Amino acid sequence: MSDSGFDTVEQDLAKAAALIAGAEQVALACHVVPDGDALGSMLALHHVLRADGRCSVAGFAGPQVVGPHYRELPGLDALADPADFPDAPEVMITFDCGSIERLGDFEKQARAAGELVVIDHHVSNTRFGSIHLVDPAAAASTVVVARLIDAIGLPLNRDAAICLYAGLVCDTGRFQYDSTTTEAFDLARRLLDFDVPVARLNRMLFEEHRLDYLRLVGDVLGRAELVTGATGTPFIWAAISQADLTRGHVLLEETEGLIDFLRQAREAEVSCVLKEAPDGSLRVSLRSLGAVDVSAVAQGHGGGGHRFAAGFTTSDPVPVVVERILQAL
């Protein structure tokens, strides 16, 4: 990040800290179908605010259901029912949301908020708030949240540290992705002072799956297709239908990590998983080894993300979406 960009983030960080410190209530919301970084960053701030006796409400639009690999994150039982989320929050903070539409039904609360603080690290963020803590150089949104907690002057606690660590390892791929920075390692070292159960968290988040899910992975990988785009970019993709999930007794939330199996194909530069949601829409996940900026592809379809990882949602059928991605590549 340039010096001017860093100064802007630091100024907004001070503004956000002062705003939160003086608020009677703070409403926290992450994007729909939250991943580890979205959940971890939101829950971490929720923990430290509540531990300091501050009024904080946290949640996301829709049923408060998360993937089973997040089941042991402290604070999930404290998520607010969407009906109890304030209609016009005095201060609202969003986490890991590249655009206001990613809030789902909470978009109306965001538009009605007195102040809207946007915490994110996606380069595609549309800056939809009144204060923006958006740092594309940060390895994860949890990194930005850790800075905010320090700026407010609140102490970390073990529950917050566990949530921050979970978000950090999810978005850095256990420190394997190119997005990993020295700041990410420094934060991880700091969090370990709170007795974070590293081995247990890593197994739960990345390695522990039901046998039904592993069988579904085998089926999906068995029909994966490797093709080459017009520019010669090797592209591997696979699709999952609602029928696949029903037949395999697998929840859609369980399939978040399926893209990580597909991206291991040595022949492919870009990998893609297309998952059919209950409403018939497709949730498209893209990964790149680096030569291709998949965030640009996702943005062209109304989504966003990073150079190495991005996604979007569409109502178009699988063959049409695959062809459009190939054209974009």
Cβ atoms of 249 and 219 within 8 Å: the answer is no
Q: Give yes or no for residue 171 having a pLDDT over 80.
A: yes
Q: Give yes or no for residue 5 having a pLDDT over 70.
A: no
- pLDDT confidence tier of residue 223, bands split at 50, 70 and 90: very high
Whole-model pTM: value is 0.88
Which domains, and CATH codes, for the chain?
Answer: 3-206 (3.90.1640.10), 211-328 (3.10.310.30)
- pLDDT confidence tier of residue 16, bands split at 50, 70 and 90: very high
3-state secondary structure 142-196: HHHHHHHHHHHCCCCCHHHHHHHHHHHHHHHCCCCCCCCCHHHHHHHHHHHCCCC
pLDDT digit string, tens, across residues 254-302: 999 999 999 999 999 999 999 999 999 999 999 999 889 999 999 888 8
The per-residue DSSP string of 70-87 comes to GTTSTTGGGPPPGGGS-S
The region that residue 228 occupies, defined by phi over 0 for left and psi between -120 and 50 for alpha, beta otherwise, is beta
- Consecutive H or E run containing 261: helix 258-262
Question: What angle separates helix 141-152 from helix 36-51, to the nearest 10 degrees?
Answer: 10
Task: State the Cα–Cα distance between residues 163 and 154, nearest whole angstrom.
Answer: 16
- pLDDT confidence tier of residue 179, bands split at 50, 70 and 90: confident
Tell me the mean pLDDT in the region 68-75: 93
For the chain, what percent of residues have pLDDT higher than 90? 82
Task: State the Cα–Cα distance between residues 276 and 315, nearest whole angstrom.
Answer: 9
Question: Which are the contacts of 18, defined by CB distance < 8 A and separation ≥ 6?
Answer: none
CA-based nearest residue to 19, from 89, 71, 105, 72:
89
Q: Give yes or no for residue 230 having a pLDDT over 80.
A: no
According to the model, what pLDDT value does residue 4 have?
40
Cβ atoms of 70 and 43 within 8 Å: the answer is no
Phi, psi dihedrals of residue 310, rounded to the nearest 5°: -155, 175
According to the model, what pLDDT value does residue 117 have?
98
Q: Give yes or no for residue 6 having a pLDDT over 70.
A: no
Tell me the mean pLDDT in the region 177-202: 95
Q: What is the chain's mean pLDDT, rounded?
A: 93
